[in-house]
A and B are shown apart, each in its own frame.
Chain A
Amino acid sequence: MKKRIIDCLTLILVFLKIGAFSFGGGYAMIGIIQNEIVEKRKWIRQNDFFEIVVIAESTPGPISVNVATYVGYKVAGIIGSIFATLGLVLPSFLIIYIISLFYNEFISNEYVMKAFSGIKCGVMVLLLSTVFKLSSKIEKNAYFYIVFCLALIIMILFSIFLADFSWISLILIFIGLTFGVINTALASKKVKKV
């Protein structure tokens, strides 16, 4: 019981931090969560984290809310997911609520825009290092290189030539899952034969 209370308090603190510093959308946040939850606190194993990202990506709603709910659930059940989601949402809620009261002053402030141009560079660095870090955690075989390159080319082509390409990532995820299941089925057939 006591452990659960401590877990919930830590969850809300960690996700408050994540919520307050997750500039640049869901993917940038994945890098921060990877650092805080998988590496620093070891709450979740690397493989489970991949599972969480896949599910967050293929279910409705913002990726970061999905990840927070799932991580919270894995760490401390339903109560944990409430605390984690609350922590994630609270900073942006408060910040935007305050901004909405002074909206016109905020949007014409040149210092805010300058700081933002700087943060944008930082976000790109963060996203790039997330790509390197996640790919360093998995086995690089022929399957990885072929599927990675094909998916990358398809995504870039679609985002250049189509305005609404959000559904394409869902299709790619579905194809990846199917490949994985087929591969497992083939592998277990081989084992049976031997």
Chain B
Amino acid sequence: MIFLELFGVFFLIGLFTFGGGYAMIPLIESQVVSRGWINIETLYDFIAVSEVTPGPFAINIATFIGSSQGGILGSLCATLGVVLPSFIVILLLATILNRFSKSKYLSGAIDGVKPIIIALIASTVIMLMIKTFFFGGNSLTSPFVIDRTTIALFLIIFGFTIIYKKITKKDFNTILMLLISAIFGLIVF
């Protein structure tokens, strides 16, 4: 029964991936590639596709493989499977934590972890910038090339949002900013 199998495999992947995103690639290789549902090359092509399309990588890959193995019903089963573990775990935690919401230890623990969370996001963007600007968007072992167009486009968008904020005291609309970036991409690349 392919639908049950899709649901089960993606349920396991959802349950055992922490941090989301590309952290699940090793599991996908061992569970999905080994079943012959996708080959390695298509998997890595699909990572590129997943970056062009919105939404979490987990949902994208589940929908894609589900569709290739079992049509629309297959993609529904795989997507439901990958979402369900997070959904259940978070609901359980939320109900438990709600009882401790006035605890000073809980708020103290959150205060303690704040700099770590900001450092995690900062390290992601720094690594992304290094890879995109100097390594053609690939890993650090690939040849070193300075991508002047991308750096210039980044600086223009960044400068613009800062000036906009200085003048209007408001953030520039994020969705509009992404749309403008896409249009600039079509023009300059």
Contacts and interface: CB of A to CB of B under 8 A. Distances in A.
Interface in B157-178: 157-158, 161, 171, 174-175, 177-178
Contact of A118 (B58, B116, B183): B183
Contact of B121 (A89, A118, A130): A130
A151 interface: yes
Given A59-B90, A177-B113, A127 B185 contact: no
Interface residues of A, number: 106
Contacts, number: 347
Given A118-B181, A119-B52, A81 B86 contact: no
Interface in A44-86: 47, 50-51, 53-66, 69-70, 73-74, 78, 81, 85
B51 A59 contact: no
Interface string B73-105: 001000100110111011101100100000011
A123 B122 CA distance: 13
**Main SS of chain B's interface residues?**
helix
Given A124-B132, A180-B109, A147 B121 contact: no
19 contacts: A22-B55, A23-B178, A25-B21, A27-B125, A57-B120, A59-B18, A60-B86, A64-B56, A93-B63, A95-B55, A96-B64, A96-B67, A100-B63, A113-B52, A122-B177, A126-B178, A147-B115, A167-B18, A173-B116
Interface of B: 14-21, 23, 26, 45, 48-49, 51-60, 63-64, 67-68, 72, 75, 79, 82-83, 85-87, 89-91, 93-94, 97, 104-129, 132, 137, 140, 150, 153-154, 157-158, 161, 171, 174-175, 177-178, 180-186, 188-189
